Amino acid sequence: MKPLCKSVVGGLLLILLGGCSATTTIDEYRPSSQPILLDANEQVVVLGRRDAGHYETDREFIDCVAQRMRGSDISVLPEARFIDAIYPWFEPRTAPKGLPRLKKLMQDPMIKTVVNQQSVRYLVWLDGSTETVEKGGSISCAVGPGGGGCFGFAQWDKLSVYEAIVWDLEELQEMGRLRVDSEGTSYLIGAVAPIPLLTPVKSDACASLGNQLKTFFTASE
Amino acid sequence: MMIRKITYRNISHSMTRLLLLLTTLLILAGCSSSASVQIDRNFPSVLAKPKPIAASIVLTEEFSNYIAQPNDKTVIDLGSAQVQVMKNAFAGLFNKVEFVTTADQITTDNGLIITPSVREVQVSTPSDNYLNVFEVWIKYNLDIADSSGEPIVSWFMPAYGKTPDAFMASKPKAIEEASIIALRDSGAKLMLDFYRIPAIYGWLREQQRLEQSP
């Protein structure tokens, strides 16, 4: 291939890949700039809010954020293990939506005992969803005895909006909140074979949120 | 030589047709909108202190083997899962509880007789609701009577579960997840609201008054 051709192909690839990156914004609120101290025997649990009518904070995203937060100094309890242990008090119908209800729940000695047995000190509520906000273009595929292929161009914008709220289950107070907005456009080019150029909007939101939440906590010496 | 060539072409065309047919069948199978779901998940015990009340729960054969067919294309085998959920929830409500299949097997003298039944199961898919969620409603009915068989109340107890639609995720899996969430919700609803039923509250007050009276 001639050097000029290589430059053109390289430039096109860079433009296409550049168009496939998500724009992510994180807003953070913390009453104190000091990181939250986590003892060696204390754990964090990440739970999804599932009481909204038109969307569901999906488990895949919760697991992704928990995985991001998990590290040598932060122990994260799986969501299912916590809600099963405390069933039915953290189901969509019964989960506390605010601190007053949480305080009331924690007055129950049975619930308090289970929380202590699970060594859960902090609870992170995640609420949000990823949605396709705009679509454009069209692509059509056809298959015949002589062969087949796809022709056309399609694009769609995805928007991920998630909010995380950190509760201290010992002091029964809010320790901070985070909001992540991630937006990006994906493309599908039909040039005989369909070529997808996908923007990882949701995984970008997960990585940003998980990494930022990780900075909330630090292991005590 | 010529005959051989034609035969080869015929075989080649037949193979192509067969492959196309198989590919089409696979695609159509992937797009199939029917779902047959069997719920075989363990449900957790409830975290609650039962009240000092005796109860007999009549889990009929019909209830234990219940298979819902909310529409022509969906079948959900709820029987064994709902029995497990009900047993766990009632064990958290009453300190003395027995489970029987017919009313004539009841041995408890002084307590409640509860007969749960399924009134209706409804399913909604993203193509129905234009949302990215699969939804399942299980509408239970609890016929509650005292130990003499005198009806106290017939309580309607709806339970709801939803699960997000995911790219390439199968419809049966999504309906199974939504059904599991609805079953868990039925346990939560029972724990949260059973003693708030006005007729049950009244019956409890009456029992307390009778116990205290000389």
Say if B4 falls within a structural domain: no
Give the C-alpha separation, A59 to A30, whole Å. 26
Say if B85 falls within a structural domain: yes
How far is B60 from chain A, CA to nearest CA, in Å? 25
Say if B83 falls within a structural domain: yes
Check pLDDT > 50 for residue B11: no
The stretch B29-49 carries a mean pLDDT of: 82
A93·B189 Cβ contact <8 A: yes
A145·B184 Cβ contact <8 A: no
Say if B196 falls within a structural domain: yes
Helix (H) or strand (E) holding B20: helix B2-30
pLDDT, residue A182, reads: 93
Interface A–B counts its CB contacts (< 8 A) at 62
Say if B81 falls within a structural domain: yes
**What residue of B is the nearest CA neighbor of A56?**
B164
- Peptide bond connecting A88 to the previous residue in cis, omega within 30 degrees of 0: yes
B131·A93 Cβ contact <8 A: no
Stated length of chain A: 221
Check pLDDT > 80 for residue B19: no
Domains of chain B: total: 1
Q: Which of B185, B180, B175, B73 is nearest to B133 (CA)?
A: B175
Sign of CA dihedral B8, B13, B14, B20: positive
Give the C-alpha separation, B51 to B145, whole Å. 17
Residues A146-179: tens digit of each pLDDT:
888 889 999 999 999 999 999 999 999 999 999 9
Which residues form the domain of A44? 22-219
Say if B151 falls within a structural domain: yes
Say if A163 falls within a structural domain: yes
The DSSP bridge partners found for residue A194 are A190
- CATH number at B197 reads 3.30.160.150
How far is B131 from chain A, CA to nearest CA, in Å? 6
Question: Which CA distances in Å does B97 have to A149, B52, B82, B183?
Answer: 65, 10, 17, 21
Confidence of residue B15 (pLDDT cuts 50, 70, 90): low
- Please list the pLDDT of chain A residue by residue as tens digits (221 residues): 566 666 666 666 555 555 567 899 999 998 888 888 888 889 999 999 988 777 778 888 999 999 999 877 889 999 999 999 999 999 999 999 999 999 999 999 999 999 999 999 999 999 999 988 889 999 898 888 888 888 999 999 999 999 999 999 999 999 999 999 999 999 999 888 888 899 899 999 999 999 999 988 876 65
Residues of B in contact with A55 (CB under 8 A): 131-133, 164
Helix (H) or strand (E) holding A191: strand A173-197
How far is A120 from chain B, CA to nearest CA, in Å? 17
For residue B164, give the nearest of A56, A85, A114 by CB distance. Answer: A56
The stretch B101-113 carries a mean pLDDT of: 90
Share of chain B above pLDDT 90, in %: 62
pLDDT, residue B10, reads: 47
pLDDT, residue B3, reads: 40
The residue type found at A154 is A
- Please check whether residue B164 touches A, CB under 8 A: yes
Q: How far is CA A67 from the centre of its chain?
A: 10
E strands, A17-146, in order: 23-29, 36-38, 43-48, 76-77, 120-144
Residues B135-194: tens digit of each pLDDT:
999 999 999 999 999 999 999 999 999 988 765 568 899 999 999 999 999 999 999 999
- Please check whether residue B106 touches A, CB under 8 A: no
Q: Which of A47-61, A173-187, B43-57, B62-76 has the lowest mean pLDDT?
A: A47-61
Say if B20 falls within a structural domain: no
Residues 6+ apart with CB under 8 A from B87: B57, B59, B99
Say if B166 falls within a structural domain: yes
Share of chain A above pLDDT 90, in %: 58
Check pLDDT > 90 for residue B2: no
Question: Which CA distances in Å does A185 have to A22, A158, A195, B105?
Answer: 7, 6, 14, 65
Stated length of chain B: 214
The DSSP bridge partners found for residue B61 are none
Which residues form the domain of B151? 33-212
Say if A6 falls within a structural domain: no
pLDDT, residue B1, reads: 36
pTM of the model: 0.83
Residues 6+ apart with CB under 8 A from A133: A157, A158, A159
Domains of chain A: total: 1
Residues A74-90: tens digit of each pLDDT:
899 999 999 999 999 99
